[in-house]
A and B are shown apart, each in its own frame.
Chain A
Amino acid sequence: MKSTQIRQFLYQAVSLGMIIASALMVWKGLICITGSESPVVVVLTGSMEPGFKRGDILFLYMSKDPIRAGEIVVFNDGRKVPIVHRVIEVHERRDTREADILTKGDANDMDDRVLYTSSQHWLQQKYIKGRAVGTYF
């Protein structure tokens, strides 16, 4: 093989490596900035229709602000797939400032109690991974 061919191949390999590395940096940077493990999610179910349809892209942001009723949150209490639903009840304890939370999809008639793993009546704040702040097209 001629040295120019080797050089070209190496050049392409390094370029590809740079592209992958910068994509990874942007992704990790977004995780840091938004404070959420998955700053961009795709809506997987139709339980939030007509607001969010299957396939819609949501931007998440996690701040230390307490969770309040009406917010659309992404939670994962040890299930395979995180769920994007709206908070309909909040009971915040005076002493610990921790809150018991109940969620429900806009298009569902029933709240999510049957979905919570470990048959808990309330969702703990720690299972909330992010708040939906915006949608892309």
Chain B
Amino acid sequence: MHSFGYRLNALLTFAVTILALMCAMGSLSDNLNTPSPSAEIQIMNINWFQKQPQGNDEVSLTMNISADLQSLFTWNTKQVFIFVAAEYETPKNSLNQVSLWDAIIPAKEHAKFWIHTSNKYRFVDQGNNLRGKKFNLTLHWHVMPKTGKMFADKLVMTGYSLPEEYR
């Protein structure tokens, strides 16, 4: 009952339990943080807007994205993954979410930024419903912790629309 093996086993079990408890407490501490992020997206230009050979609409646009996400960071934050998605509906689909751009923010210092970029990922519809389409641009953020629960939220910006004609 007091051999080396038993003692080592007891010690290891205790250590793992304490580690799990500390990780859980660390994760819970994230709930104390009340984030207040802000963002703004402007569409500077519709570069082109075509129907592909397969029949799907595709659009290329240039955006100005500015955001202040510093309040999302806690001591337990490993990184924040953000992406901008165009969200709209079509006759066939009740919801379409297409990610246009994403980035990884590794630290609080980089969380207040301004970027001028064209869409990183192709904005292609399932069909040809995009002419004159009204859509939202939603900035999503996913906070990935050093340990524990991940949480995510978003900021919906409405009022964007695509041209009536291809160009």
Residues of A within 8 A of B (CB): 50-52, 68-72, 86, 88-94, 97, 100, 106, 111, 132-137
Contacts and interface: CB of A to CB of B under 8 A. Distances in A.
A34 to B, nearest CB: 13
B19 A70 contact: no
Contact of B99 (A50, A52, A89, A134): A89
20 contacts: A50-B79, A51-B78, A51-B79, A51-B81, A69-B98, A69-B99, A70-B83, A70-B85, A72-B150, A86-B81, A88-B121, A89-B96, A89-B99, A94-B92, A94-B93, A132-B150, A135-B148, A136-B20, A136-B148, A137-B146
Given A50-B79, A69-B140, A100-B126, A89 B150 contact: no
B150 A70 contact: no
B39 interface: no
Main secondary structure of the interface of B (DSSP, over half): strand
A90 B95 contact: yes
A134 B104 contact: no
